[in-house]
């Protein structure tokens, strides 16, 4: 904290270089695309919850996310190399994900409560900018929306996931010759995208008027 911009730029370049080296080593030891996907799922197991809750719970901070990423990586590798939970075995892969997710969740929750929260003025500014809803922000903004806003946000999140997967499978179907199914999936993705844009536009206008 408090370092110059040059320091942070150098740290970013160094981190990028380290990630490139690690990626090269991992790639050499993965023989299939399926293996790569399983590896990514394994080292990221348990991080999704903290990424989601950061929008609905004021107590989540940067250390929560950093600890979740580090814990997922460590626990996943230990489970694979130390305890023989192989991603190639369906049962072993399921156990790997469950164990990594459970331990990662315990770690980031503990870190969240053991580290100081963000400054109140930063939290209030964040709340005003993203219009965070749900009961998790009442300690910071008592006038925040209740359960309805939380439910609406989760529904929009699910629809956003549907948009991505429909677009992926739709484009894949068009490329692979399944034009009927592919076109239907792409059209459905476009319709859901239009709906999400229309549903979130009033909130964006409100934020603009407030600023």
Question: Which pLDDT score, from 0 to 100, does residue 154 have?
Answer: 78
Cα dihedral 179, 171, 192, 50, rounded to 10, equals 150
Bigger pLDDT: 95 vs 205: 95
Q: What is the mean pLDDT of residues 43-53?
A: 88
Question: Which pLDDT score, from 0 to 100, does residue 168 have?
Answer: 94
Return the sign of the alpha-carbon dihedral for residues 146, 151, 157, 159.
negative
Q: Please write the tens of the pLDDT for every residue from 159-208.
A: 999 999 999 999 999 999 889 999 999 999 999 999 998 887 655 445 44
Q: What does the buried/exposed string (b/e) look like for 1-27 if buried means 16 or more CB atoms within 10 Å of the residue's CB?
A: eeeeeeeeeeeeeeeeeeeeeeeeeee
**Domain ranges (residues) in the chain:** 1-30, 35-117, 145-211
Q: Please write the tens of the pLDDT for every residue from 108-156.
A: 999 999 999 888 888 888 888 877 767 788 888 776 554 446 677 778 8
pTM > 0.85: yes or no: no
pLDDT interval class at 101 (50, 70, 90): very high
Q: How far is CA 136 from CA 91, 139, 158, 161, in A?
A: 36, 7, 20, 23
Of 87-91, 103-107, 178-182, the range with the lowest mean pLDDT is 87-91
Contact partners, residue 179, CB within 8 Å, separation at least 6 = 173
pLDDT at position 44 over 70 = yes
Structure tokens at 181: 């199914």
């Amino acid at each position: 904290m408090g370092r110059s911009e040059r320091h942070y730029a150098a740290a970013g370049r160094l981190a990028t270089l380290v990630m490139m080296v690690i990626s090269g080593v991992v790639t050499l030891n993965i023989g299939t695309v399926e293996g790569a996907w399983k590896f990514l799922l394994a080292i990221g197991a348990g991080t999704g919850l903290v990424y989601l809750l950061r929008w609905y719970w004021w107590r989540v901070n940067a250390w929560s996310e950093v600890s979740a990423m580090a814990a997922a990586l460590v626990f996943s590798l230990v489970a694979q190399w130390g305890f023989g939970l192989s991603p190639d075995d369906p049962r072993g892969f399921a156990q790997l994900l469950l164990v990594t997710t459970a331990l990662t969740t315990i770690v980031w929750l503990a870190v969240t409560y053991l580290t100081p929260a963000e400054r109140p003025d930063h939290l209030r500014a964040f709340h005003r900018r993203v219009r965070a809803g749900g009961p998790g922000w009442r300690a910071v903004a008592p006038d925040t929306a209740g359960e309805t806003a939380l439910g609406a946000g989760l529904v929009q999140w699910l629809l956003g996931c549907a948009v991505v997967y429909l677009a992926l499978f739709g484009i894949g179907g068009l490329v692979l010759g399944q034009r009927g199914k592919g076109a239907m999936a792409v059209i459905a993705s476009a319709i859901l995208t239009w709906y999400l844009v229309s549903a979130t536009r009033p909130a964006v206008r409100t934020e603009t008027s407030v600023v």
